[in-house]
Amino acid sequence: MNVAILRFPGTNCEFDTKYAFEKLGHTTQIIWHNDKTLPENVDLVVVPGGFSYGDYLRSGSIARFAPVMQEVSKFAANGGKVLGICNGFQILTEAGLLPGALKRNTNLHFISKYQHLKVVSTDNSFLNKCQKDEVIHIPIAHADGNYYVDNEDLTKMKENGQILLKYCDASGKEESINGSVEAIAGVCNETKNVFGLMPHPERAIELLLGSDDGVKMLKGFES
């Protein structure tokens, strides 16, 4: 699998992402934000975490206008798979590739820790190697992870299986850690080829670092 990883000024997880996918045996290429094309043979585009453009104005609000994002939008419209992690999730919502928006955490603090997540839907190419209602444990690190979507869109997302992950405790009970609507931690678009989540699966691929639950998440794209 050929993976293109975007880089904006302020991105800081591109090399973690590169390491993770290469450890799984895939070919990666880092793409600069001013590039106007994507590699012809790309199978997956990843928008990694960090603080694109310093999170000025609003997280992801400037990055969504970068030249490369026009190509990402075209790629997604043609059925290409796109994954946004943390700041990448924020960028994809700002670009209109995912529903909803990410707001400041309700406690107004940056949260950085390992967090339990409940798998809500596996009917997609991201989480198909997980089990429904499985509890996984991977890191989170964000200040603007409070996911918001209005009731009308939330209902549609539930009906279409677009809610992928929820924050929970070790037993699987939903847990509000940042104010997200219904504890939502990850979603996909209606056609299920664009995915976004606040937690960092690329930081959970080795037991030495605390968890390898991210492996089965990222390997889902191999199917």
| Catalytic residue list | 86, 200, 202
What gap in Å lies between CA 200 and CA 127, rounded to an integer?
14
Taking the chain, what is the end-to-end CA distance rounded to the nearest angstrom? Answer: 10
* Number of neighbouring beta carbons within 10 Å of residue 88: 30
**CA-angle at 178, arms to 175 and 179, nearest 5°:** 85
Q: What H or E segment, with its residue span, contains residue 47? A: strand 44-47
What gap in Å lies between CA 211 and CA 207, rounded to an integer?
5
